[in-house]
């Protein structure tokens, strides 16, 4: 991953590979030490945001997902998450963004413009509702993409079976309002640029087992779905 300018982002040298490169990605072996980020590794970057919501929620979730991905695929992936504010150097150098939380989210107009530019240039965002961010997330994403509408991905979409099969779509980790889990997407020229997992609580499933007492089978399903999302993002043309 490379860093661009804070104010004048450069084209993404680390943009997500085309589908034809998937076999090569999966064939790469992790030979680096656990504390090192190998050159060219995919870095999962947690997005910080304003508004008071807990962007830092589920602190053990991404480390566990990263470890699971390293164990079960050959993807060259950094062993630790990065953290970025929209517009900083880490943000511009990140092709895989992740955000979660329970409460309010706020993007300034400048942040909305920068996020839009980065996603259209090749970056990917996975947003995982940790129960309570839904209204604010939809409101703020309308600032980012006022011209795009959310599309629910059907269970036969490749994201649900690219590595591990999920014939019924997203797994349901936690029950809140008796709502079914939904995988919602925003697309640009056929590419999924934002994937929003709603009423699923994947992040809770990724956390250490004792945090939420998620049954082992559900925790495994959540981790497998996380791998699918990563691999699908990398496979897009």
Q: Does residue 8 lie in a domain region?
A: no
CB 206 within 8 A of CB 63: no
Q: Which pLDDT band, with edges at 50, 70 and 90, does 112 fall under? A: very high
Q: Which of the pair, 5 or 180, is modelled with greater confidence?
A: 180
Residue 97: exposed, middle, or buried by beta-carbon count in 10 A (0-12, 13-18, 19+)? buried
Q: Which pLDDT band, with edges at 50, 70 and 90, does 212 fall under? A: confident
- Token duo for residue 119: 């996603």
Q: Does residue 10 lie in a domain region?
A: no
Q: Does residue 140 lie in a domain region?
A: yes
Q: Does residue 161 lie in a domain region?
A: yes
Domain count, the chain: 1
Q: Does residue 23 lie in a domain region?
A: no
pLDDT digits (tens, 9 = 90+) for 134-169: 999 999 999 999 999 999 999 999 999 999 999 999
CATH of the domain at 149: 3.40.50.12140
CB 224 within 8 A of CB 164: yes
Using alpha carbons only, what angle is made at residue 147 by residues 142 and 149, rounded to the nearest 5 degrees? 70
Q: Does residue 129 lie in a domain region?
A: yes
> What is the model's pLDDT at position 53?
95
Q: Which pLDDT band, with edges at 50, 70 and 90, does 110 fall under? A: very high
Share of the chain above pLDDT 70, in %: 84
pLDDT digits (tens, 9 = 90+) for 58-84: 999 999 999 999 999 989 999 999 999
Q: Does residue 51 lie in a domain region?
A: yes
> What is the model's pLDDT at position 237?
53
Crossing angle of helices 61-72 and 216-235, in 10° steps, is 70
CA distances from 222 to 171, 174, 216, 230 (A): 7, 11, 10, 13
**DSSP-derived 3-state class of residue 235:** helix
Mean pLDDT across 97-126: 97
> What is the model's pLDDT at position 36?
60
Share of the chain above pLDDT 90, in %: 78
Domain that holds residue 226: 30-235
Q: Does residue 11 lie in a domain region?
A: no
- Distance CA(2)–CA(10), nearest Å, equals 10
């Amino acid at each position: 991953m490379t860093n661009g300018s804070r104010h004048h982002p450069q084209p993404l040298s680390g943009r997500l590979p085309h589908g034809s490169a998937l076999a090569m990605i999966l064939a790469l072996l992790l030979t680096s030490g656990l504390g090192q980020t190998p050159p060219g590794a995919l870095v999962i970057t947690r997005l910080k945001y304003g508004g008071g919501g807990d962007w830092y929620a589920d602190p053990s979730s991404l480390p566990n997902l990263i470890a699971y991905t390293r164990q079960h695929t050959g993807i060259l992936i950094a062993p630790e998450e990065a953290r970025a504010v929209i517009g900083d150097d880490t943000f511009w150098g990140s092709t895989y963004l992740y955000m979660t939380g329970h409460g309010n989210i706020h993007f300034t107009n400048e942040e909305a413009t920068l996020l839009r530019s980065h996603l259209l240039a090749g970056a990917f965002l996975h947003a995982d509702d940790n129960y309570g961010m839904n209204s604010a997330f939809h409101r703020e994403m309308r600032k980012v993409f006022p011209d795009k509408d959310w599309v629910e991905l059907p269970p036969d979409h490749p994201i649900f079976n690219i590595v591990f099969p999920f014939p019924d779509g997203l797994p349901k980790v936690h029950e809140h309002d008796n709502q079914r889990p939904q995988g919602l997407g925003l697309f640009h020229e056929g590419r999924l640029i934002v994937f929003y997992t709603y009423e699923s609580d994947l992040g809770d499933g990724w956390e250490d087992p004792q945090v939420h007492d998620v049954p082992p089978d559900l925790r495994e399903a959540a981790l497998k779905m996380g791998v699918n999302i990563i691999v699908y993002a990398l496979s897009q043309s």
